[in-house]
Amino acid sequence: MTADRISVGELQELLAAGRPVTVLDVRSPSDVDWEIPGAIHIDAYADLESGRLGPLAELSLAQGPVVTVCGVGRTAAIATELLRANGFETLTLDGGMRSWSLAWNIAHTTISGCKVIQVRRTGKGCLSYIVESDSEAVVIDASAEPDVYIRLLCERGWRLVAVSDTHIHADHLSRSRRLAQLEGARLVLPAQDRVQYPFRPVADGDRIAFGSTALLAMRTPGHTDESTTYLLDNIAALTGDTLFLNSVGRPDLEGGTHQELVSRARLLYMSVRRLLELPEAAQVLPGHVSTPIPFDGRLVVATVGELRETVALAGLGSEAFVDAILARIPPSPPNHSRIVELNQRGELPEDPSELEAGVRRRSRGSRAVDPGTPRRE
């Protein structure tokens, strides 16, 4: 923390510790696509650009420091300077919302004797998992920086034995290969011929063993051809981008003809049906969520029984499902072709947030959309 700046990591720690802090988002409403949990939005952009506090002058601020935030930190720095001149303890979030896309928090649970940590990129909605058995761990869908997982493993004395992705991601750069390299763990990926670096392929029915248990691979194609769900004792399913808590994956990001899209949507239908035939009490742990994840330690999860009720698309017949999916294809995530290309090559740029930052498309006052999800009304 410098005199008037705070880093993403420092703000993340304040929020995780429940310390008093007021996050003041000064972006104009049209630029607000994702937010920091608990942030206050004041549309002061135009005033600040003219060197005035505008509506910020009327603000009664609670106890604790004020952290100003905008897109990349420039306008927020103006707010900080003006608020400090008015006597408020104010800091600018370094790098703004673009840098915040790398912020993360966690939630814990225990399933079938295995400790599970859900690692959430709160500013982007990506969910990943550390699953532990007898002090050996597997990481699924690593999307936070590799150091995050290494720190969490180290703090608990767990040894990483395998890293896997549920599919080739299009919305974020996979950190799985790098994490496996750093920790000397097996890199296990769904069998496919897209990835251009060595990995151990996992097919439908294969197991990823760790500790005294294993994750069972269940091929669930549709979002992508290789999409795979990992089952833990048939009572938890890590569904990647196939099944979310309010919707299902999108089948279009691999491109192709209309007929290929229809075929993939039919596969998706069958995959979703298979997942919803799991035991009613089985827990679904998805790969994405469509809203910022609070620093409340609460797991993002639902049971199969709940999803049978809440995922409206799942109640449709095959052709109605396909029609509904194809009628609701949202715009492709920015940079998705480049992200897929890098994920297939196993490359991780120095600053991944630059490519990933454009993926967030949440608008205030409108329904949120999962990065991998068709828009639902």
Q: Which is nearer to Fe ion, 92 or 343 (CB)?
A: 343
How many residues of this chain bind Fe ion (CB under 5 A)? Answer: 2
Distance of closest approach, residue 19 Cβ to Fe ion, in angstroms: 35
Choice between 98 and 167, CB closer to Fe ion:
167
| Residue 170 CB, nearest approach to Fe ion (Å) | 5
Of 65, 120, 62, residue with least CA distance to 93: 65
Q: Looking at beta carbons only, is 88 or 199 nearer to Fe ion?
A: 199
Q: Where does this chain touch Fe ion (CB under 5 A) — which range of 107-115, 319-327, 328-336, 365-373? A: 365-373
Cα pseudo-dihedral 173, 176, 177, 182, rounded to 10: 120
- Report the residue count for the chain: 377
Stretch that binds Fe ion, among 22-30, 95-103, 239-247, 265-273 (CB under 5 A): 239-247
Q: CB 142 → Fe ion: shortest distance, Å? A: 14
Task: List Cα–Cα distances, 13 to 22, 178, 216, 224, 254, in angstroms.
Answer: 14, 25, 35, 36, 38
Query: Of 113-121, 199-207, 302-310, 364-372, which part binds Fe ion (CB under 5 A)?
Result: 364-372
Question: How many CA atoms are closer than 13 Å to the CA of 370, on its beta-carbon side?
Answer: 24
Least Å from the CB of residue 267 to Fe ion = 14
Give the residue nearest to Fe ion (CB).
241
Spatial separation of the C-alpha atoms in residues 56 and 48, rounded to whole Å: 9
Contact call for residue 374 and Fe ion (CB under 5 A): no
Which residue, 96 or 249, is less far from Fe ion as judged by CB? 249
Asked if 372 touches Fe ion (CB under 5 A), the answer is yes
HEC per residue, 295-318: CCCCCCCEEHHHHHHHCHHHHCCH
- Kindly state the tokens that stand for 27: 């972006």
Q: Are strands 126-133 and 213-219 parallel, antiparallel or unpaired?
A: unpaired
Q: Which residues sit opposite 69 in a β-bridge?
A: 25
Q: How far apart are CA 54 and CA 304, in angstroms?
A: 49
Count of other CB atoms within 10 angstroms of residue 297 = 11
CB neighbourhood size of 255 (10 A): 10
Looking at the Cβ atoms of 372 and 374, the one nearer to Fe ion is 372
CB of 314 to Fe ion, least distance (A): 18
241 binds Fe ion (CB under 5 A): yes
CB 119 within 8 Å of CB 126: no
For residue 310, the minimal CB distance to Fe ion (Å) is 21
We find the least distance from the C-beta atom of residue 227 to Fe ion, in angstroms, to be: 8
Q: What does the alpha-carbon distance between residue 104 and residue 172 come to, in Å, rounded to a whole number?
A: 14
User: Segment contacting Fe ion (CB under 5 A): 277-285, 305-313, 339-347, 369-377?
Assistant: 369-377
Nearer to Fe ion, 56 or 238 (CB): 238
Measured from the CB atom, the residue of 77 and 265 that comes closer to Fe ion is 265
Q: Which is nearer to Fe ion, 184 or 331 (CB)?
A: 331
Q: Which residues contact Fe ion by CB under 5 A?
A: 241, 372
